[in-house]
Amino acid sequence: MKGENYMHLEFPSRSTNEAFARSAVASFAAQLDPTLDELGDIKTAVSEAVTNCIVHAYPEELGPIILKARILPEHVLDITVKDRGCGIADVEQARKPMFTTGGEERSGMGITIMESFMTEFRIHSTVNKGTTVHMKRKILPRGGSK
């Protein structure tokens, strides 16, 4: 589906770029006039997706993270976060709350959070080729109409 507007960013998997990605998507989404709660949900989901790339996809090295966002008809924000890292061996296992491969300091809630904050959520991963997270969020026009 062709978007009304779009952005495409690529940056290295440095932890400092998580805030940049979150802010960039929030700025882009602002054209849909989201509420502060909607904007917070979007920022959190992007933060989780990018952090997963940093922590899990490239645990021993830097690698590229590709962030795309589009505005689709009917006030839908479409976001893709992609890496070319190690991939996820068992996506279904990774989707379970509290599951993590990141050690004791990780909560294992990233995928659950992304899924709960977005209208649509998909994840595809291939071992040694990378992971793609695709999220959509419907932004309700002010006044609550659909």
Query: Which of 48, 70, 115, 137 is labelled catalytic?
Result: 48
Query: Which of 17, 22, 38, 52 is labelled catalytic?
Result: 52
Task: Yes or no: say if 34 and 42 are a contact pair by the CB < 8 Å rule.
Answer: yes
Q: Which residues pair with 67 in a beta bridge?
A: 9, 81
Clarify whether 95 is annotated catalytic: no
Give the containing element (helix H, strand E) for 124: strand 120-126
Clarify whether 128 is annotated catalytic: no
Sign of CA dihedral 107, 112, 116, 119: positive
List Cβ neighbours of 105 (8 Å cut-off, separation of 6 or more): none
To which residue do tokens 């992609």 refer?
82
Clarify whether 14 is annotated catalytic: no
To which residue do tokens 């050690």 refer?
103
Question: Which residues are known to be catalytic?
Answer: 48, 52, 106
